Amino acid sequence: MAARIGQHTIRLTHPPCVIAHAGLAGKKEKDGPLGAAFDKTFDDVTFGVPSWEEAEQTLLRTAMELAAKKADLPLSKLDLILAGDLQNQCTASSFAFAGSGVPFCGLYGACSTMALSLSVASLLLDCGACSTAAAATGSHFCTAERQFRKPLEYGGQRTPTAQWTVTGAGAAILAATGKKTDPRITHVHFGTITDLGITDAANMGAAMAPAAAKTIGDFLRDTGTAPQDYDLILTGDLGFVGSELLLELLRRDGLNLAGVHSDTATAGV
Amino acid sequence: MAARIGQHTIRLTHPPCVIAHAGLAGKKEKDGPLGAAFDKTFDDVTFGVPSWEEAEQTLLRTAMELAAKKADLPLSKLDLILAGDLQNQCTASSFAFAGSGVPFCGLYGACSTMALSLSVASLLLDCGACSTAAAATGSHFCTAERQFRKPLEYGGQRTPTAQWTVTGAGAAILAATGKKTDPRITHVHFGTITDLGITDAANMGAAMAPAAAKTIGDFLRDTGTAPQDYDLILTGDLGFVGSELLLELLRRDGLNLAGVHSDTATAGV
């Protein structure tokens, strides 16, 4: 059984373990500050398939196969795959896992899909609905540009606030029990949609910062914890502009994340 | 705690109640066999807003507000909204519920989104992660035609196998406890992606029938039940062609759904 604490946070009674995970990425990510952390990076992100959309499927499928291999678990033995992506109708994840024979739960959280899939997976493990589950997401710079901004062939100029959608995929295998050293998910907090009206597709950091601020603030209040109780408070896609706005918004709330917050888009920079 | 039975079915230990629900639809649906079952139907499906996409948001929001009203529960008191739709990036549901202040879990199951949202909501209620949750989905014929086939303005011809995506929205409020007469969700079964390679967007019944057959067959095997143990086995969007294929596929598996199966797209026809 899970228990609700505060207004919206859920504490897991039997925190599930992340027994294995895999992260794959492209060339730009290899050259970035997290480059050494990926299991594998690829200079050719076409993966020899005819479209960027299929390349994204390949990345997702390969990440999942690698995570399952690390968990020493045949993919087909998983109780559930929870995944989503940025393509219309989440086609990347449904095609990536169509041949797996594993029950599938499609999720849509855009940049939050990895957190969302880990969250729902953890709750289903906590309550005994699954004994193993996989959480996954992926994106590809070239599909995301066509999808959300302009097709690459158009050669549009990028503004200083524009971010690069990652070419990469991540998969985590969760189990009800694991090794003592496996990381465990202890709390889940579903965020509330927070939209301050930013409509510039080239400034997603500003669009997302208010939601990140609300989620982190709500979580800290619900759990009665302070930023300094954590080694790291990580956001996914805020970039330079969004990270600055996040810290500013939280300061107004009396929360100081300086020194504790890191954003994957700017980590180590 | 939930318990897994058979290969992929989950039996809920504390089956949650559907304490209220609302269904809204357009003119074509009003004239159909389920017309009298909707809470409200609308002859003008523009809802006075500038785009079909916004009209779909309005439908979804109105359905949710009506369901909450019937449950005698302020929307803001819900622990979680689980919803998805057919628009890119599930924009209809995220915009519909952006002002609600309620935590949001986005799901993508296309035609299965209502079942998917009810399923995940039920599991989260069963495990105590929520005490109330709403499951919702919506679609609009005019957004779906533009999204998946051709913009209406193009005036394309429809083939005999083409279905009409419903203009409508449904919302259900679930709670851990309810009245004795409230329907309860007792089992959840996440389907496995089943793709026999139908690529004709004007024949979705044929594309979806194999997945429906596998889900129903797997569920019956897992639970050790027969079609005749049920008053009704309902599918959502198979239409005439898909329904016939579903029965044919299940007959090959030794399962006879004749007289028990009904499809919402052809109900009563």
Interval B199-246: pLDDT, tens: 998 999 999 999 999 999 999 999 999 999 999 999 988 999 999 999
Q: Kindly determine whether residue B127 and residue A131, on different chains, have CB atoms separated by under 8 Å.
A: no
Residue A266 pLDDT > 80: no
Q: Kindly determine whether residue B98 and residue A8, on different chains, have CB atoms separated by under 8 Å.
A: no
**Which residues in chain B have Cβ-Cβ distances shorter than 8 Å to A82?**
none
Neighbours of A168 (CB within 10 A): 26
Neighbours of B268 (CB within 10 A): 9
Please tell me which of the candidates B8, B79, B97 has its beta carbon nearest to residue A193. B97
Q: Kindly determine whether residue A191 and residue B103, on different chains, have CB atoms separated by under 8 Å.
A: yes
Q: Identify the CA nearest to A166 among candidates A239, A65, A241, A248.
A: A239
Provide the token pair at B11.
Answer: 């039996």
Determine the Cα–Cα distance for residues B126 and A126; give it in Å rounded to an integer: 11
Least confident of A99-108, A117-126, A256-265, B23-32: A256-265
Least confident of A72-76, A221-225, A262-266: A262-266
Q: Identify the CA nearest to A176 among candidates A136, A135, A133, A137.
A: A133
Cα of first residue to Cα of last residue in chain A, in angstroms, is 41
Q: Kindly determine whether residue A116 and residue B97, on different chains, have CB atoms separated by under 8 Å.
A: no
Region A141-163: mean pLDDT is: 89
Q: Does B94 touch chain A (CB under 8 A)?
A: yes
Kindly state the helix (H) or strand (E) to which residue B30 belongs, with its residue range: helix B27-30
Mean pLDDT of chain A, nearest integer: 95
Region A19-26: mean pLDDT is: 98
Check residue B136 and give its pLDDT.
Answer: 98
Q: What ipTM was predicted for this assembly?
A: 0.94
Provide the token pair at B96.
Answer: 């519909």
The length of chain A, given as a count of residues: 269
Provide the token pair at A204.
Answer: 């997603």
Instruction: Using DSSP, state whether B162 is helix, strand or coil.
Output: coil
Cα of first residue to Cα of last residue in chain B, in angstroms, is 41
The stretches of A10-148 forming alpha helices (DSSP H) are 27-30, 52-70, 91-96, 113-126, 141-148
Residue A115 pLDDT > 70: yes
Region class of A240: left (phi > 0), else alpha (psi between -120 and 50), else beta: alpha
As a whole-number percent, the residues of chain A with pLDDT over 90 amount to 88
Domains and their CATH numbers in chain A: 2-175 (3.40.47.40), 191-263 (no CATH)
Q: What are the distances in angstroms from CA B63 to CA B25, B70, B171?
A: 10, 11, 6
Q: Does A76 touch chain B (CB under 8 A)?
A: no
Q: Does B164 touch chain A (CB under 8 A)?
A: no
Which residues lie below 8 Å from residue B235, measured CB to CB, with a gap of 6+?
B212, B242, B243, B246, B261, B262, B263, B264
Q: Does B192 touch chain A (CB under 8 A)?
A: yes
Global pTM? Answer: 0.96
Look at strands A233-235 and A261-263 and give their pairing.
parallel
Region A118-142: mean pLDDT is: 97
Low-confidence ranges of chain B (pLDDT < 50): none
Q: In the block, which residue shows the tokens 């895999």?
A: A22
Check residue B118 and give its pLDDT.
Answer: 98
Answer whether A8's CB lies under 8 Å from B100's CB: no
Q: Kindly determine whether residue A123 and residue B129, on different chains, have CB atoms separated by under 8 Å.
A: yes
Instruction: Using DSSP, state whether A195 is helix, strand or coil.
Output: coil
Residue type, B193: I
Check residue A252 and give its pLDDT.
Answer: 97
Please tell me which of the candidates B110, B123, B131 has its beta carbon nearest to residue A89. B110
Neighbours of B202 (CB within 10 A): 16
Look at strands B3-5 and B9-11 and give their pairing.
antiparallel
